[in-house]
Structure 1
Amino acid sequence: MEHFDLDAAVAAGVIRSDQADELRRFDERLRHAPSATEERFALVSGFADVMAAIGIAMVTVTLITLVGATFPYAAAAFPFACWVAARYFTEKRRLMLTSFVLFVVWAIGCAGAALTVGLLTTGFDPLHMYGGVEAPAVAYVLTAAVATVACYAWWRRFQLPIAFAAFAVALVNVGVNAVRALFPELPSLGVDLVSAVVGPLLFVWAMWWDISDVRRETVRSDVAFWMHIAAGFLIVKGAMTLLLGVEGDAASWGRMFQQIADPNHGQAAAVLVLFLVFATVALVIDRRSLLTSGMVYAVPAMIALFGGVGVGGSGIAIAFLVCGLMLTFLAVRWTAMREPLLRLLPQKLAAQLPRPQLKAVGPRPVY
Structure 2
Amino acid sequence: MDQFQTDDIRAAVAADILTEQQAAGLISLAQERQGIRDNMVAEDEPFEFFRGFSEIFVTVGLALLLAGMLAFSGVIGGGAAMPIVGLIFCWVFSVYIIRKRRMTLPGMFLAMGVAMFTAATIFAFTDNPPFLAFSAVGIVIMAIYFYQFRLPFAMFVLGGYAFLGVFGLISDYNAPNDIPILGYDPSFDLQSGSSFAWASLIAGILAFIGGMYFDLRDPNRISRLSATGFWLHLLAAPAIVNTVAFSLLSADGNIAYLYTAIALFLITLLALVIDRRSFLTAGIGYLAAILIWALQNSFNDGAGIVLTLLILGAFITTLGVFWVQIRARLMHILPEFPGKHRLPPYKNATVESE
Report the TM-score when normalising by structure 2: 0.75
Give 1:146's aligned residue: 137
Q: Provide the C-alpha distance between the structure 1 equivalents of 2:59 and 2:296, rounded to a whole number of angstroms.
A: 45
Matches within 5 A, 1:251-266: none
Aligned to 1:115: 123
Go from structure 1 to structure 2 and tell me whether the alpha carbon gap of 1:150 and 1:11 turns closer, same or farther (over 3 Å shift).
Answer: farther
2:80 maps to 73
Q: Contact (CA 8 Å) 1:111, 1:144: kept in 2 or not?
A: no
Q: Which runs of 5+ in 1 are unaligned?
A: 1-8, 123-137, 246-260, 360-367
What letter matches 2:51 in structure 1?
A: S
Read off the aligned partner of 2:236 and give its amino acid letter: A
CA distance in 2 between counterparts of 1:69 and 1:272 reads: 57
Amino acid at match of 1:102: L
CA contact (8 A) 2:261 2:287 kept: yes
Cα gap change, 1:298/1:61 in structure 2, threshold over 3 Å: closer, same or farther?
Answer: farther
State the secondary structure of the residue aligned to 1:216. Answer: coil
- Identity %, equivalent residues: 25
The counterpart of 2:36, out of the listed 24, 28, 31, is 24
Say yes or no: does 1:54 pair with 2:60: yes
Q: Which residue of 1 aligns with 2:108?
A: 100
Show the counterpart of 2:344: 354
- SS of match in other structure, 1:91: helix
Is the Cα contact below 8 Å between 2:153 and 2:228 reproduced in 1? yes
Residue 74 of structure 1 aligns with an amino acid whose one-letter code is A
Maintained 8 Å contact 2:171/2:198: no
Does the C-alpha gap of structure 1 residues 240 and 63 become closer, same or farther in structure 2, counting only changes over 3 Å? Answer: farther
Q: Does 1:164 align with 2:161?
A: no
Following superposition, the deviation at residue 336 of structure 1 comes to 1.0
Shift in Å, 1:181: 6.6
Given that residues 39 and 225 in structure 1 are in contact (C-alpha distance below 8 angstroms), is that contact kept between their aligned partners in structure 2?
A: no
Match of 2:181 in 1: none
1:177-256 pair list within 5 angstroms: 177-180=168-171, 188-245=193-250
* Whole-Å separation in 1 of the counterparts to 2:283 and 2:110: 30
- Name the residue aligned to 1:287: 276
1:301 to 290, 294, 303: 290
Deviation at 1:152, TM superposition (A): 0.9
Q: Per-residue deviation at 1:243? A: 2.2
The verdict on how the C-alpha distance between 1:154 and 1:358 changes in structure 2, with shifts beyond 3 A counting, is farther
The CA deviation string for residues 205-241 of structure 1, in whole angstroms up to 9 with x for no partner, is 2112111111112211111111111111111122134
What is aligned with 1:175? Answer: 166
Return 5+ residue gaps in structure 2 as ranges: 1-20, 176-186, 350-354
What corresponds to 1:87 in structure 2?
95
Q: Is the 8 A contact 1:90 1:158 kept in 2?
A: yes
Counterpart in the other structure of 2:313:
324
Letter in 2 for 1:221: S
Secondary structure of the corresponding residue to residue 351 of structure 1: helix
Number of aligned positions between the proteins: 310
Matches within 5 A, 1:125-140: 139-140=130-131
Contact 2:119–2:134, Cα closer than 8 Å, also in 1: yes
Q: Distance in 2 between matches of 1:86 and 1:41?
A: 21
Distance across 2 between alignment mates of 1:331 and 1:140: 41
Select which of 29, 34, 50 maps to 1:44: 50
Deviation, structure 1 residue 190: 3.1
Aligned CA RMSD, in angstroms, stands at 3.5
Name the CA distance, whole Å, in 2 between partners of 1:296 and 1:59. Answer: 40
In structure 2, relative to structure 1, the CA distance for the partners of 1:44 and 1:314 (3 Å cut) is same
Whichever residue aligns with residue 353 of structure 1, its letter is L
Counterpart Cα distance in 2 of 1:139 and 1:117: 13
CA offsets 1:25-53 (integer angstroms, 9 cap, x no match): 5413xx3x1xxx52212210211101111
Larger RCO (CA within 8 A; separation ≥ 6)? 1
Q: Matched residues in 2 for 1:25 and 1:276: separation?
A: 31
Q: Could you tell me which residue of structure 2 aligns to residue 255 of structure 1?
A: none
**SS of structure 1 residue aligned to 2:212:** helix
Q: Secondary structure at the match of 1:72?
A: coil
Residue by residue over 1:290-341, the C-alpha shift from the partner in whole angstroms, topping out at 9 and shown as x without a partner, is 1111113222332333329x87843333222222111111111111111222
Using the size of structure 1 for normalisation, the TM-score is: 0.73
